Amino acid sequence: MQCAIYPRICLFLLIVWLAACSSDQLSLTRVVDVQITQSGCHPMEWRVPAGQVVSIKLINKALKVYIWILMGRPVTPPFDTGDAANIFFSQQVAAGASSSMQFKTPAAAGEYQVICSPLDHGAEEQSGRITVVQP
């Protein structure tokens, strides 16, 4: 009987260890949901498959027009018009409104900068990231 207990304990510990290792990583998504409030954009980190069409849904509960920008190359905040050439995808949403669109993610795996800010930018600009992974 004692011999049968040790494999069960080892299996249990292996499962716990694997769960602990995977809890730090975001799950892969094809839907990017962003809640925008007076305190900013949430969440600001996602994992998406490379070269795939994903949906983005912006829900703006703030009192300003916001823009969500996926950069093809990193920029140093604050974002300005000179950085526009590095935009991979962007979407605006009016104050108190929702907006949904689809876009194709970058084909190259890696981390891409996301900027979410009021259209007039200012100190409220937030920077996040999308991690693109091979499916």
Domains of the chain (ranges plus CATH)? 27-133 (2.60.40.420)
pLDDT tens, the chain, 135 aa long: 455 555 555 445 444 444 444 434 568 888 999 999 988 899 999 999 999 999 999 999 999 999 999 999 988 877 788 889 999 999 999 999 999 999 999 999 999 999 999 987 666 788 899 999 998
| Surface-to-core class of residue 20, CB atoms within 10 Å of its CB (0-12 exposed, 13-18 middle, 19+ buried) | exposed
pLDDT at 122: 63
Q: What is the pTM of this model?
A: 0.76
Helix (H, G, I), strand (E, B) or coil at 119: coil
pLDDT at 38: 87
